[in-house]
Structure 1
Amino acid sequence: MAQVLVVEDDDRIRPLVVRALGERGYAVSSAPTGMAGLQQAVEERPDLVVLDLGLPDVDGTQVLAMIRAVSQVPVIIASARDDDPSLVAALDAGADDYVVKPFSTAQLEARIRAVLRRSGSGAAPRADVVVGDLVVDPAARRVTLAGEHVELSPREFDLLRHLAERAGTVVTKRELLTEVWHQPWGGSDKTVDVHLSWLRRKLGESAAAPRYLHSVRGVGVRLEAPEAPVRPEAPEAPG
């Protein structure tokens, strides 16, 4: 099931598009402004974004440029006119396709299917990542530990998924800032430390008594399954 983010300020159009795509099997979220849409695109990592150009806070073309600075998620532009110069600018800036308002749900879905096919996104469900009793479901953005649901914030989920997909490997804080926080040119290691602390608490462990998350001093952090307890050998029966 592909995840679609709809960035649209019109309170009449937005819920209609969300409901229509949801009825056709998509997981849909929405945002009414450009900056809210940008934040959700970064945090939720959807498979595709439907982006209106006429947003109240930031021009849609600028939003696209900001999305493209941190992500290659496919973007379909929604425009009121097919000869709008801003539509041409958006396509030049990296938009994958466009629809002209008013559009039908069937037309929008056809564009979504075509773009996802070209990009390879949403073609197949993303497999669960399993590390010991920890299961990370990227498609549903759900985590369970020993069968129990673990409630995580969007950032905590992205952090855990990134580490779980590299289980057994030491991941540097710089990589985490780049890949999870999308801050390749800066950012504080303290940000990573705080989120790791929250994540440990929700996984029922601590830095002093780690089970899954192991800090490597001066390098980063490694996620791995806890070692099975060593069982003492049974004494041999007397001969």
Structure 2
Amino acid sequence: MRVVLVEDDAGMAEAVIDGLRAHGFHAIDHLSHGLDLLTSHTVYDAVILDLGLPDVNGYLVLRQLRKVSDVPVVVLTAEGDEVAVVSCLRAGADDYIVKPPRVGELAARLEAVVRRRRATEPKLSVVVTGDVMVDLAARSVEVAGAAISLTQKEFAVARVLAEHAGVAVPRDKIIAEVWGEKTSSTSRSLDVHMGALRAKLNRPGLITTIHGFGYRWSH
């Protein structure tokens, strides 16, 4: 699970991240501005969002985020009264926790909101587009009834795109799911594997490049 903490207090952020790592959360990023979350949310499985941010009010960040994403959000708030809590939930938060957070409780709440969200997601096993079939469970691909030999990384790229067939998938999301982190080498590797995948599938138009953003697998 890849988590991002949006918190402008460096001391608080360090304490929360250290505590979550002690509870088994190892892929944790830290952002101090709300706008940074709005431009990078696609690579995360869960968000911990402070409301008192230096650039944009956390409620506004949450409302904007909910227009484009259903990523689970646990709000960190200094206000524990009913009005603040209800406002958070109505703005789209999945849960909330009052500062200073008890990290064990925060970890449990993170696990719970992600588990609930995943339980509502459709479980695709086979994606068929024209004469191309991607069997996600068997990790196999067929074109016109013939099996196509893909490397592990090539299939992983195909899986991410096929799971979101018809939807534009950001490059950063593909890199995060296949390689774990974005570097100059992983970005180049995506280009190489994408070229090889397209060549092996030999179906022009199946994977569309959205310049400056990412790729889309035809629906």
Q: 1:78 aligns with which of 76, 79, 85?
A: 76
SS where residue 30 of structure 1 aligns?
A: strand
- Counterpart check, 1:202 vs 2:219: no
Question: Residues 129, 78 of structure 1: CA spacing in aligned structure 2 closer, same or farther, 3 A cutoff?
Answer: farther
- Counterpart check, 1:36 vs 2:36: yes
Correspondence for 1:16: 15
SS where residue 204 of structure 2 aligns?
A: strand
Q: What is the rounded CA distance, in whole Å, between the counterparts of 1:128 and 1:106 in structure 2?
A: 37
SS where residue 66 of structure 2 aligns?
A: helix
Question: Residues 80, 164 of structure 1: CA spacing in aligned structure 2 closer, same or farther, 3 A cutoff?
Answer: same
User: Matches of residues 100-111 of structure 1 in structure 2 within 5 Å?
Assistant: 100-111=98-109
- Equivalent residues, number: 171
Question: Residues 57, 129 of structure 1: CA spacing in aligned structure 2 closer, same or farther, 3 A cutoff?
Answer: farther
Q: CA deviation at 1:71?
A: 1.3
Conserved? CA contact 1:80–1:102, under 8 Å: yes
What RMSD, in angstroms, separates the aligned Cα atoms of the two structures? 3.7
Q: CA deviation at 1:72?
A: 1.2
User: Matches of residues 88-99 of structure 1 in structure 2 within 5 Å?
Assistant: 88-99=86-97
List alignment gaps of at least 5 residues for structure 1: 136-143, 147-156, 182-197, 224-239
Q: CA deviation at 1:109?
A: 1.5
Which amino acid is the alignment partner of residue 35 of structure 1?
Answer: L
Which amino acid is the alignment partner of residue 63 of structure 1?
Answer: V
Encode CA deviations 1:1-58: one digit per residue, 9 max, x unaligned. Answer: x22221111111112212221222122222111011222212x0x2221110001111
SS where residue 77 of structure 1 aligns?
A: strand
Look at both structures and tell me which one has the larger radius of gyration over its CA atoms. 1
Q: What is the rounded CA distance, in whole Å, between the counterparts of 1:204 and 1:3 in structure 2?
A: 24
Query: So what's the TM-score if we normalise by structure 2?
Result: 0.62
Query: So what's the TM-score if we normalise by structure 1?
Result: 0.58
Identity of aligned residues (%): 33
